């Protein structure tokens, strides 16, 4: 998988597709510590950190996925 493909997966996640259907389809993102190529390792770690920051910002702004919001209203 190339960095371009990882960027495409990240943008797909940013548009609302679940992380397990986008970034975690890439084995590199599942275990970045096992990557031998330094550039790819740093890139994958950066992508995951960016996602973590975006998730935290959305959480602080009380923004949730539609499916999560629907489950909360059921209770």
Asked if the model's pLDDT at residue 65 lies above 70, the reply is no
51 versus 59: the higher-pLDDT residue is 51
Tokens representing residue 32 in the block: 């970045």
Taking only the tens place, the pLDDT of each residue in 3-56 is: 899 899 989 988 888 888 888 888 888 899 999 999 999 999 999 999 888 888
Q: Is the pTM of this model over 0.75?
A: no
Given a contact cutoff of 8 angstroms between Cβ atoms, the answer to whether 29 and 6 are in contact is yes
Asked if the model's pLDDT at residue 74 lies above 80, the reply is no
pLDDT at 35: 93
| Domain definitions of the chain by residue range | 3-74
Chain CA centroid to CA 5, Å: 13
Tokens representing residue 71 in the block: 């489950």
């Amino acid at each position: 998988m190339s960095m371009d493909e990882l960027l495409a997966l990240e943008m797909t996640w940013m548009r609302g597709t679940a992380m397990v259907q986008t970034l975690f389809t890439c084995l590199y993102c599942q275990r970045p510590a096992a990557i031998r190529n330094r550039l790819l390792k740093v890139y994958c770690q950066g992508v995951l950190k960016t996602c973590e920051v975006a998730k935290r910002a959305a959480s602080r702004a009380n923004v949730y996925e539609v499916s999560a919001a629907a489950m909360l209203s059921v209770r």
